[in-house]
């Protein structure tokens, strides 16, 4: 579906009485609870261009990441998708999340549900996180004047698991580059029901015989309108593994069992996020993928002022380099010249081939 079809579909759903819950485009939000409330979870995944980020700078300082600034800028600009949002869910994922959530709620008059995510993933944190999920459920029940049953949550878990299986199946065929991201973006805007209704079967995806240099991609979010993945592919790379912030698909399925406990454990312990205090196991997982898929290198994408990556990038780079794996960091804003990025990518490809 193209963006205009997606918008029409969302408008139709809204006219039929369905609520739309906006979410900052991050990991570790148990969307199943939102979906179980009958609402559509809509991830704020539009990004750039620079003019829109500049509009966000009227609210947030220029030292906030360009994604958060452009998200606020899209509200200011009257983005038709974001105008459909009834309730907004934000928290403490990062500095961009904290600032953008508060300003969006205050200046665009959208009720905000705070969802503060722990910084550690040990057992007490999982227990605390489960309480947060229960609070989220209560907030949605109060706002929408409904009751959310365990059965509804379990049904939502199976819908999302079906989607996870679909992405697992298409990943070996199409890789995890721009095409994979484009399909995820449809999910982020449409929510699971309409996505599942329109989903192609995995047989519709034909495995490509790739001649390009296979690499991993990690780091900051890549949103709709951001062409960094295509730029990388056009420079002769094939993105075979991607654990950047824009991938909310997880390798594992949510196991059966008491739904709130299963969600808490899953979301706090099965993420790809570098925003947590302990990042060594994320690095180990990345290295393991680079090794097992025999990838030639890794591209670390850092949006300026994106604190989860600004604070960990040296650690990520040093860890990979020390183990003999090539890594290229691209730090950027939405106004950075694509030509400059291409030059660096081409030099990197020559180096690792």
Residues that bind ligand SF4 (CB under 6 A): 65, 67-68, 93-97, 220-221, 245, 303, 306-308
Q: 215 has which bridge partners?
A: 239, 297
Q: Rounded to the nearest whole angstrom, what is the least distance from the CB of residue 96 to ligand SF4 in the complex?
A: 3
CB-nearer residue toward ligand SF4: 65 or 262: 65
Q: Which position's Cβ is nearest ligand SF4?
A: 96
Q: 1: how many CB neighbours lie within 10 A of its CB?
A: 14
* Cis before 216? omega within 30: no
CB-nearer residue toward ligand SF4: 130 or 220:
220
Rounded to the nearest whole angstrom, what is the least distance from the CB of residue 72 to ligand SF4 in the complex? 11
Smaller CB distance to ligand SF4: residue 71 or 238? 71
Reported in sequence order, the residue ranges of the chain that DSSP labels E, i.e. its strands, are: 20-24, 40-44, 87-91, 112-115, 213-219, 237-242, 297-303, 327-332
- Compute the distance between CA of residue 108 and CA of residue 8 in angstroms, rounded to an integer: 22
Q: Which of 198, 207, 151, 200 is nearest to 175 (CA)?
A: 207
Q: Which is nearer to ligand SF4, 223 or 259 (CB)?
A: 223
Pick 36 or 306: Cβ nearer ligand SF4: 306
Q: How far is the CB of 3 from ligand SF4 (least distance, A)?
A: 21
Residues 117, 245: Cα–Cα separation, whole Å: 15
Alpha-carbon gap, residue 189 to 9, rounded angstroms: 10
Token representation of residue 61 = 């300082």
Minimum separation from the CB atom of position 271 to ligand SF4 (A): 12
Smallest gap from Cβ 337 to ligand SF4, in A, equals: 20
């Amino acid at each position: 579906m193209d963006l205009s079809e997606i918008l029409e579909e969302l408008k139709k759903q809204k006219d039929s009485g369905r609520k739309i819950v906006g979410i900052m485009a991050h990991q570790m939000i148990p969307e199943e609870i939102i979906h179980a409330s009958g609402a559509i979870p809509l991830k704020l995944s539009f990004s750039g261009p620079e003019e829109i980020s500049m509009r966000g700078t009227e609210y947030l300082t220029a030292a906030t990441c360009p994604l958060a600034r452009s998200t606020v800028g899209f509200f200011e600009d009257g983005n038709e998708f974001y105008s459909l949002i009834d309730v907004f869910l934000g928290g403490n994922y990062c500095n961009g999340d904290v600032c953008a959530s508060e300003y969006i709620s205050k200046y665009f008059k959208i009720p905000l549900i705070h969802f503060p995510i722990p910084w550690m993933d040990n057992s007490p944190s999982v227990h605390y996180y489960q309480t947060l999920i229960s609070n989220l459920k209560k907030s949605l029940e109060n706002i929408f004047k409904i009751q959310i049953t365990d059965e509804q949550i379990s049904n939502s878990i199976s819908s999302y698991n079906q989607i996870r299986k679909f992405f697992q199946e298409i990943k070996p065929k199409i890789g995890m580059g721009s095409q994979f991201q484009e399909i995820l973006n449809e999910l982020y805007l449409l929510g699971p029901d309409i996505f599942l209704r329109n989903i192609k079967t995995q047989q519709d995806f034909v495995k490509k015989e790739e001649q390009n240099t296979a690499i991993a991609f990690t780091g900051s979010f890549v949103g709709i309108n951001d062409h960094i993945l295509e730029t990388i592919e056009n420079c002769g790379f094939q993105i075979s593994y991607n654990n950047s912030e824009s991938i909310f698909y997880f390798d594992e399925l949510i196991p059966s069992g008491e739904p709130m406990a299963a969600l808490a454990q899953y979301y706090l312990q099965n993420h790809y996020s570098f925003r947590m205090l302990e990042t060594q196991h994320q690095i180990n997982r990345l290295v393991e993928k680079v090794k097992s898929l025999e990838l030639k290198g890794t591209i670390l994408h850092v949006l300026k002022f994106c604190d989860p990556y600004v604070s960990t990038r040296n650690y990520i780079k040093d860890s990979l380099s020390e183990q003999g794996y090539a890594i290229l960091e691209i730090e950027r804003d939405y106004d950075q010249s694509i030509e400059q990025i291409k030059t660096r990518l081409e030099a990197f490809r020559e180096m690792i081939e």
